[in-house]
Structure 1
Amino acid sequence: MNDKSENIVRFTREPRVMKPYSPYENRVEFNTDTFSLTLKNMQKTDRGVYRVQTTRENETHVAEYEVSVIDAVEAPVLTVVSNCSSNYSCTMNVTCRGHDLTLSSTFQNYRCSHVEIASFGIITLILHFTEDSIICNHSNLISWKSETKDTEQLCSLHESAAVSPPAGVSLCLLKTVLFSVSLVIMMSAVITVHIREKLRRS
């Protein structure tokens, strides 16, 4: 039954009979083996507390569930204003909007990726920067929608000044390589000291 004390379905074991009640008659599924109840075509008026009750000599509440009815999220709005110089350096002022949430940030191209998050209740807004794109993601418990913009297109110069960017590796890749090399050097130093100490003792 719901919190208005309206019966949704009644099941009797002997005889084995399941009876749905109006107005749920055409939008309810009840499993007589597991006793699970599924409501279909949910409306905002269906939100509330639902209780399971057994009846023998006395009525006993055996389970209680709070049900929320949530709309799918709307598509977010991603706004990017870019300021590019002739040396392929771009500064982008980014705004990501969804529901009543807003994320604003400044991003420079060829930077490593990072993420910014804002939330309100069950609504979450995520602004994700990568080397190649800017992603604004709007989500709740049941749905998500996103908008993406390509940073290469945002930072492209006018055709009259277009020159291929200098060849080379990205800043993120360079940082990863340097970190890996440093780690290998440190590990080699530790192993060398350990071996020398072992030889000295022997």
Structure 2
Amino acid sequence: MALRNWVRETGIDLVQINGQRRYGGPPPGWVGSPPPAGSEVFIGKLPQEMYENTLIPLFQSVGKLYEFRLMMTFSGLNRGFAYAKYSNWQGAREAIATLNNLEVQEGYTIVVCKSLEKCELSVDGLPTSVSQKYLEAVVLKATEGVLSITLHASPYQKKAKLAVLKYSSHRAAAMAKKTLTEGSVKLCGENMNVGWLKPELKEKLRLC
């Protein structure tokens, strides 16, 4: 009810598609090109009953929003994370400095960090015997533009490890994904699954 009233009073247009509800992209009155890279932040650990009527004013308080995307469940609750894209990278930087670790409700402290815009891959299903040194040797030899490699216990498979690979650009990450998916690189995992690092997994691994 509060959300509907807020939408009616402000005239803000929210569009829901593919599991997310979006404001802007571009917002009303926007003139010119989309914001540059580095203008978007990832927002995690949101209370499920918190919606745009609270979130958009909060994130607009530190800079001009170009777009706000709230991830939604089929039942109409938010999925606990969202993305805010500002008109410039200064707005994103101010959001991180001001709103990261902010307690938005009692017991709920949100995470606000830079959105890496698909420069990170997850590799799940690695055997528990695989070492950081071995993984680095294989990945650095097979792919280019690697910035970091981290190894974790898999939250999805028992007796398996999961690697997070961070690349210098989306192109480098996409090429690495193609190389690793085609199976020409052996990482000793029979059930290895290579994909883009999902926000919910990023939050679960505390990588912000």
Question: TM-score, normalized by length of structure 2?
Answer: 0.23
Greater gyration radius: 1
Question: TM-score, normalized by length of structure 1?
Answer: 0.24
Higher normalized helix content (fraction of residues): 2
> Which of structures 1 and 2 has the larger relative contact order (alpha carbons within 8 angstroms, sep 6+)?
2
Higher normalized strand content (fraction of residues): 1
